[in-house]
Homo-oligomer: A and B are copies of this chain.
Amino acid sequence: MDALKARIRAEGKVLPGNILLVDQFLNQQVDPVLIHDMAEHWYAQFADKNITKILTIEASGIAIAVFVAARFGVPLLFAKKYSSTNVTRESHEVSIYSYTKQETYRVAVSKRLLTEDDNVLIIDDFLANGQALKGLLDLCRQAGATVAGVGIAIEKIFQNGRDAVKSYGVEISSLARIESLDTEMGSMTFAED
Q: Which residue of B75, B100, B110 contacts A86 across the interface (Cβ within 8 Å)?
A: B100
Q: Check A29 for interface membership: any CB of B closer than 8 A.
A: yes
CB-CB contacts of A26-41 with B at 8 A, as 1s and 0s? 0111111101100000
Q: Contacts of A163 on B, CB cut-off 8 Å?
A: none
Flag if A63 contacts B76 (CB, 8 Å). Answer: yes
> How many angstroms from the CA of A75 to the CA of B100 in the assembled complex?
26
> How many angstroms from the CA of A113 to the CA of B31 in the assembled complex?
12
Among the 9-residue stretches A16-24, A132-140, A184-192, the one with 4 or more Cβ atoms under 8 Å from chain B is: A16-24
Of A29, A73, A87, which is in contact with the most chain B CB atoms at under 10 Å from its CB?
Answer: A29
Taking the full assembly, how many copies of this chain does it contain?
2
Interface residues contributed by chain A, number (CB under 8 Å): 45
Q: Check A80 for interface membership: any CB of B closer than 8 A.
A: yes
Flag if A80 contacts B28 (CB, 8 Å). Answer: yes
Flag if A113 contacts B75 (CB, 8 Å). Answer: no
Q: Tell me which residues from 50 to 76 in chain A have a Cβ below 8 Å from any Cβ of chain B.
A: 53, 58-60, 62-63, 66-67, 69-70, 73, 75-76
Selected A-B contacts with CB under 8 Å, 5 pairs:
A28-B109, A32-B69, A32-B70, A36-B70, A59-B62
Footprint of B on A, CB under 8 Å? 15, 17, 19, 21, 23-25, 27-33, 35-36, 53, 58-60, 62-63, 66-67, 69-70, 73, 75-78, 80-81, 83-88, 100-101, 109-110, 112-113
